[in-house]
Amino acid sequence: MRHATLLLACLSTVLLRAEDQPFLYPQADAFKQQLAKTRLKGLTLTDYHIHIRGGMTLEKAVLRQDRSGIRSTVLENFGREWPLADNAKLKAFIDAHAAPPPNGQRLPVGIQVNDRDWLTQIDPGLRQRLDFILADTMIMGLTAEGKPRRLWLPDVTIDDPEAWMLDYLAHNLRILDEPISILANPTYLPPCIADRYEQLWTEERMRQVIAKAVSKGVALEIQAGSDFPKPAFLKLAKGMGAKFSFGTNNFDDKAKDLSRWFAAIELLDMQPADLWER
């Protein structure tokens, strides 16, 4: 029944006009040329950061992959106050998304972990069913109300950026010690101090993060639409032998501009061995 429903959804979606399919990448000449360049280099691009939210679905991810040749995956957030708040919801998510589509291969299924005790909260059997686990560093500390502090919110303020950075670096290194696959949006900084990137992310601090990622086999994400990490970090990571992954981090079903991916590929002269794969 699941396969039949998926097939009908895919067929009905194919019949829609291009303007009614915002989840597909626009087939502009520039986009096609960039994709052709990556294929000449032997690169297979995979989006490891597709959330099933805001209208995005497994069916749309499958069609996006089929139409573009860019591999799709699916994931959702696991943690308190997040869509996958317990093992029952996690199991339901895996069950609903792990089956292969009709006449095709199943998409890799992952989660983004948001609580630092996630490892003790996930049933080991469910964890084994996941293809990858993604984390970022964008939640640290507590608010005055005792809620996890979400660093991307506009009301976040930091009185002493240098002192805060010491704690934040330790936070980065602790997360890299977790059994994750991908570090998303590496070297992220809250909006209130983002203009101090070069001052706060010194080469020594960047080296510590990269060395930990390399030693743990964790990929460093290049995210569409994000300013992080900066070119200096990317170049240093390439020189230190890091692996990279790509992601979009969608909030709806609209395809994002992938120019940041292509710029990084060109900047680093990426080769297949530079990419992390699952």
pLDDT digits (tens, 9 = 90+) for 46-76: 999 999 999 999 999 999 999 999 999 999 9
Q: What is the CATH number that goes with domain 40-271?
A: 3.20.20.140
* pLDDT band, very low/low/confident/very high, at 17 (cuts 50, 70, 90): low
Q: Give me the chain's average pLDDT, please.
A: 92
Contact yes or no for 136/112 (Cβ under 8 A): yes
Contact yes or no for 208/187 (Cβ under 8 A): no
Domain positions in the chain are 40-271
Sign of CA dihedral 235, 236, 242, 245: negative
In the predicted structure, residue 14 carries a pLDDT above the cut 90: no
28-42, 192-206, 260-274: the lowest-pLDDT one = 28-42
How does DSSP classify residue 100?
P
* Cβ-proximal residues to 38 (8 Å cutoff; 6+ apart), any chain: 45, 262, 265
* Nearest of 51, 114, 121, 48 to residue 82 by alpha carbon: 114
**29: part of which helix (H) or strand (E)?**
helix 29-40
The pLDDT tens digits of the residues spanning 143-187 come to 888 899 999 999 999 999 999 999 999 999 999 999 999 999 999
Helix (H/G/I), strand (E/B), else coil: 162: helix
* pLDDT band, very low/low/confident/very high, at 245 (cuts 50, 70, 90): very high
pLDDT value of residue 20: 72
* pLDDT band, very low/low/confident/very high, at 15 (cuts 50, 70, 90): very low
The two three-digit tokens of residue 251, written as one number? 């909030």
Helix (H/G/I), strand (E/B), else coil: 142: strand
Question: pTM of the full predicted structure?
Answer: 0.91
Cα–Cα distance measured from residue 186 to residue 35, given in angstroms and rounded to the nearest whole number = 24
* pLDDT band, very low/low/confident/very high, at 27 (cuts 50, 70, 90): confident
In the predicted structure, residue 19 carries a pLDDT above the cut 70: no
The pLDDT tens digits of the residues spanning 92-144 come to 999 999 988 776 789 999 999 999 999 999 999 999 999 999 999 999 998 88
The two three-digit tokens of residue 208, written as one number? 């510590």
